[in-house]
Structure 1
Amino acid sequence: MGAPPPAAPPEPGPRRRRVLPIALAAALVLVLALVGVAVVRPGPVADWLGDEPADRKTAQAAEPAPVAVLAGADPNAPRPTPEGVRAALEPLLGQEILGSRVNISVVDVDTGDPLYTRGGDDPTVPASVTKLVTAVTVLAARGPTYRIPTRAVAGASPGEVVIVGGGDPTLAVDKQGFYPGAARLDDLAAQVRKALGGTKPTKVTVDGSLYSGPVHEPGWDPDIPTGGYGSAITALMTDAARTDVPRAKRDDANGNHAAQRAREPDLAAGRSFARLLGVPTDAVKRGKAPAAADATGGAPGPGAELGKVESLPLNRMVDVMISDSDNIVAEALARQVALARNQPASFEGGAAAMDAVVAELGLPADEIDLADASGLSRDNRISPSLLTDLIVLAGNGSRPELAVMFGGLPVAGWSGTLADRYDTAAKAGAGVVRAKTGTLTGVHALAGVVTTADGRLLSFAVLTDRVPPVDSDLPRRALDRVVAALAACGCR
């Protein structure tokens, strides 16, 4: 995806690594099992996302019993040695297809001990692996049960309804929305009609003022805003700005996550809301909600709340973001981090807030520099060792809310963005690797957990950002072979 990459970024200078002060125990394995590392076969995506309409539950009841995919790690398994890991990996790191810079970190999850590093502390272009940082920071800042509100209030003039975007990218128009279980505009419209009583809506104003700054990150490749993997980021949108939800659902089922996106998602959502209220779409304009006035009886006064719907809880949105590498959801979650840390809800504010939360968590904040939360920006830099430390922190039980991020990690050869990978030469990794992928033109990355042949759980991150211009499937398969080598060995 994207235009040919610019000249390779300059080699970063040496950085002194801050060791994460964590003593891990067997409890980690229990945490990972609870959130899906020792898991059963993932069911339909709808099941992962929450409650389904009643008419679908009968069909789902016919699903066969789940079967095991990832075996639970054994905390008593023999420990790999640095020498053994080096012997397994180094013959594969020189693959020409991976380019001139392959930075990697491997850590024993149970002990927290580093097993192998090569450029491990060097900030590297991470692509969509950035979403692991987005997941951890939003879970730390907001908590897994937080829901994003979308509100409707009375406008300044009679019959005016103001819809106030709260930053929910999964908001649907009706029950046919892209994200099962999402909040819906038809529910909000029903609340508005009830609150207005006999007053007929005549105008819809869209208030997206919660967000500020540019709607596209300046570091994005030129084709990203129009190529279907990105969109304008606005505080009000439906179905992550998709304009053809039935088609998007069909394409998504076949592993194609690009979609047609609205050029102005906020106004598109406002027009959908207007149609539900019986308001002409040419009566939809941008504006701001008036401050709430004291109630005086009769019709709701300016600023009075007419209705509210709430998003899926953040734990489910994190699952969606990671399993399908959903860029628009990622950017929305970063703005929730910004709001929780009193920063502007913008690309810049989200990045600053995420950096701050990384430092609060005791991670090496000098090894991360973000421009966006999705990983679409080539200006992002994250070190492999920060990623492995982050994965260990999320699983060691000290911050149980962070363990939610494991639930959405794709399973090699089975689900998400790893569903069609780890065959042929990388087959040893199928079912024992769970990881986040990252791809831009010239950039490929993989970070997650892998269980060795002896049953030892390892955290890994492999980032390469100087890949030659070739079919992107080739460097992905080369990365898979690197991680599969960890799965195939005891590394002792």
Structure 2
Amino acid sequence: MRAAWDSDPATAGTPITRVVLDSSYFGGDAWEPSWNRKELYDGYMPEITALMVDGDRDDPYSNVSARSENPVQRAGDAFAAKLGGVATSVGSAPAGAPVLGHVESQPVSTLVYQALIVSDNTLAEALARVTAIQAGAGNTFGSLQQGITAGLAAYGLDTSALRIADGSGLSGNNAVPPSYLTSLFLKVQNREGSLWAVYDGLPVSGEAGSLRYSDRFAGANSRADGAVHAKTGWIDDGYTLSGIIDAADGTPLTFAIYALGDVSDDAKEAIDTLAAAIYDCGNNLSNQ
């Protein structure tokens, strides 16, 4: 950016004195009202803005790390420091302003993988918001219902029962019937359309992501290691697991297990035990 500034005859030799912070690509509330604010301090969720650095983590090398009260300003401070400590202000670029530099993200398929494999809430929210924007639904939390269901429409499943409050699933106001997930995962397993990226990003029991943690598929349940490709879910009043099981007899099965209400960590073991039993049953289960 500084090289572009210095190479322009109109600005060459002129010091950069201020960085304007424009986060207007996302609108509305930065914090979904149904979220517990402790998720910010516990490190599971930042305020959702279009301008932040490293997911606004205190420790950018840790997926779960405390976030700040003002990710836009923290991002601005990072830019300002690189430019020698210039001032910052919130605003927007004037129409027709020259572009000094830009960066591009990894492909969306890579971001989907990164979001799914370890349940990166920040990436999930950003992907949901961009989906809504691309669908023409808007750029706020309130646009996600229309945007996400529009994105799913191409797969031919009835989305009328879906209730979408956020992109990460942290809100208790979300509602997705288990039957919808089992139907969708049939299409994921067949890698329809762009759903191959979802399949490739799923945690795998005992081998990858959030299903490789020491408290998942432990003990006798480890017999299903490598066979369960599924997305974990956890909020204060629910644990879920949904995806695809390559059963012991070679039968592929889709499944969705929900434990809702006053749940504890024991629910994870119970869910894994049920998934391992499904692995054992295979075609026998699917024919009952």
What's the TM-score, normalizing by structure 2?
0.91
The equivalent of 2:90 in structure 1 is 286
Matches within 5 A, 1:437-476: 437-466=232-261, 468-470=262-264, 472=265, 474-476=266-268
Q: What is the SS of the residue equivalent to 2:160? A: helix
Task: Measure the CA separation in 2 of the matches of 1:275 and 1:220.
Answer: 32
Task: Measure the CA separation in 1 of the matches of 2:50 and 2:191.
Answer: 34
- Of 196, 214, 217, 1:403 maps to 196
The equivalent of 1:50 in structure 2 is none
Deviations 1:135-166 (A, max 9, x none): xxxxxxxxxxxxxxxxxxxxxxxxxxxxxxxx
Q: What is the SS of the residue equivalent to 1:382? A: coil
Task: Measure the CA separation in 1 of the matches of 2:257 and 2:163.
Answer: 18
- Contact 2:203/2:229 (<8 A) preserved: yes
- Contact 1:358/1:364 (<8 A) preserved: no
Q: What is the SS of the residue equivalent to 1:369? A: coil
Q: How many residues align?
A: 280
Task: Measure the CA separation in 1 of the matches of 2:116 and 2:122.
Answer: 12
The equivalent of 1:237 in structure 2 is 52
Deviation at 1:226, TM superposition (A): 2.4
Task: Measure the CA separation in 2 of the matches of 1:189 and 1:408.
Answer: 37
Residue identity in the other structure for 1:415: A
Task: Measure the CA separation in 2 of the matches of 1:386 and 1:191.
Answer: 50
Task: Measure the CA separation in 2 of the matches of 1:334 and 1:450.
Answer: 26
Task: Measure the CA separation in 2 of the matches of 1:193 and 1:348.
Answer: 42
Larger radius of gyration between Structure 1 and Structure 2 = 1
Task: Measure the CA separation in 2 of the matches of 1:318 and 1:390.
Answer: 16
- Of 270, 280, 283, 1:488 maps to 280
Q: What is the SS of the residue equivalent to 1:278? A: coil
RMSD: 1.7
The equivalent of 1:265 in structure 2 is 71
What's the TM-score, normalizing by structure 1?
0.55
Q: What runs of 5+ residues in structure 1 fail to find an aligned partner?
A: 1-187, 293-302
Residue identity in the other structure for 2:236: T
Deviation at 1:427, TM superposition (A): 2.1
Task: Measure the CA separation in 2 of the matches of 1:412 and 1:406.
Answer: 14
Deviation at 1:324, TM superposition (A): 1.0
- Contact 2:40/2:66 (<8 A) preserved: no
% identical equivalent positions: 35
The equivalent of 1:276 in structure 2 is 82
1:201 matches 2:5: no
Residue identity in the other structure for 1:476: K
Deviation at 1:342, TM superposition (A): 1.3
Matches within 5 A, 1:240-389: 240-245=55-60, 249=61, 252=62, 257-280=63-86, 283-292=87-96, 303-389=97-183
Q: What runs of 5+ residues in structure 2 fail to find an aligned partner?
A: none
1:217 matches 2:11: no
Task: Measure the CA separation in 1 of the matches of 2:5 and 2:168.
Answer: 34
Deviations 1:218-244 (A, max 9, x none): 111232232210111111111011123
Deviation at 1:335, TM superposition (A): 1.1
Residue identity in the other structure for 2:93: A
Task: Measure the CA separation in 2 of the matches of 1:370 and 1:393.
Answer: 20
Deviation at 1:429, TM superposition (A): 1.5
Deviations 1:314-361 (A, max 9, x none): 111111100010001111001110111112211111232002222343
**CA gap 1:449/1:190 in 2 versus in 1, 3 angstroms:** farther
Deviation at 1:310, TM superposition (A): 0.8
The equivalent of 1:412 in structure 2 is 205
Deviations 1:105-153 (A, max 9, x none): xxxxxxxxxxxxxxxxxxxxxxxxxxxxxxxxxxxxxxxxxxxxxxxxx
Deviation at 1:193, TM superposition (A): 4.7
